[in-house]
Amino acid sequence: MAVNYSELRTRLKIEIKRPEQSELAYLTHFLQTIDNGSKDHYRQEARQYVQGICDKDVRIDELWYQPYLPIKWDVPFPPPIKHRFKFIDLFAGIGGFRLAFQNLGGKCVFTSEWNHYAQKTYEANFGEVPFGDITKISEQDIPDHDVLIAGFPCQPFSIAGVSKKNALGRKHGFLDETQGTLFFDVARILKKKRPPAFLLENVKNLISHDKGNTFKVISGTLKKLGYNIHYRILDGKYYVPQHRERIVIVGFDTQVFGGKEDFSFPRMPENPPMVVEDILEPEVLEKYTLTDKLWSYLQTYALKHKAKGNGFGFGLVDFDGVARTLSARYYKDGSEILIPQEGKNPRRLTPRECARLQGYPGDFKIPVSDTQAYKQFGNSVVVPLMQEVGKQLVHALEQKN
């Protein structure tokens, strides 16, 4: 008889209360990979955790051995029963990339995300607790995989003058230029695990940052690691009603593909399929309407900057158009995307509307406060856009195989 994950969640005390709960990451990763070789990376620590919480009501043999205890994953987005490829999800946020690549038949075998509020949302939807700070995780402890995915943050760095060494205390030759940045962690994992392909995503300005030196180091590092790269700035407005430009970098191992992979970025639809009105809820609580004080402040602020010739100010949406870019600061005042209301002040988007604006399905759970939800969706990827890029990447993988 199968047991629901929700029951296991209670019996095994899977509840995220603080950052860096690696014991829960080991346990849930083990449960999710128990049907393939990746489980060996998590078995020992997961078993230690179970032994540590066992009491008279919990039999370790029942909890431990999968043939005796098949799991029914009663979460919105369970792991696939059969998979086409394996991937890892770095800087995972709330799982936008995971959702996209699971939809393509991928099996996630490792996840990392340092923010424990984002971990809560991730676990609620996928039944897995991400590992924490990637800088503290050895590349040797990550399972083999076919695709590395990372929406990595990019702290400023330049080619010259970077002397800070990684906490691991090892030199990596040309990788020294990226030490002190989180891209270094992507590079060291690529160097050790050598997945056939990767997908990286970042802000549009990555290309122009530091007069192009930042992207020069990143692209040069990837090429020296032996990957042929493709990159393009893509706009999410062709899949959701939001103008959201991001750079996407896709790479393929030249030792596997010889630089001749069958990959191209998807062609964008000629006309955006959705408008803002399509993602709005029919009824919204009054708390999302701006107070008189805040609305007055935003109008005064906008007029002041307009007089100076600046473009700063609030953004009232066109119901038949697309919204500005949703940012992680949306929780502060909602100024970049405001919804007009007849006879009253405009309002913010609700968290559910933000989820729709990023392409998340209706059954995606939002178990955190509004403030945290705004931050999470503001930092997310546009799910259907990344799924279309992923479709092309997976096609290239399978053409080679």
**Chain length of the chain:** 401
Supply angle C-alpha 385, 389, 393, rounded to 5.
160
Among the options 54, 108, 154, 354, which is catalytic? 154
| Alpha carbons 21 and 24: distance in angstroms, whole number | 6
| Alpha carbons 395 and 401: distance in angstroms, whole number | 10
For residue 16 the two structure tokens come to: 């995220």
Q: What is the three-class DSSP state of 234?
A: strand
Quickly list H helices, 116-257.
116-126, 183-193, 213-224, 254-257
Return the closest-CA partner of residue 148 out of 92, 94, 104: 92
Name residue 228's beta-bridge partners. Answer: 252
Residue 170: C-alpha distances to residues 173, 175, 225, 346 (Å): 10, 10, 17, 54
| Alpha carbons 184 and 96: distance in angstroms, whole number | 22
- What does DSSP assign to residue 73? -
Q: How many CB atoms lie within 10 A of CB 278?
A: 13
- For the chain, the maximum distance between any two Cα atoms, rounded to a whole number of angstroms, is 72
Residue 36: C-alpha distances to residues 33, 42, 81 (Å): 6, 12, 11
| Active site annotation includes 154 | yes
- What does DSSP assign to residue 167? T
Distance from first CA to last CA of the chain, Å, rounded? Answer: 37
Residues contacting 264, CB < 8 A, separation 6+ = 230, 392
Catalytic residues: 154
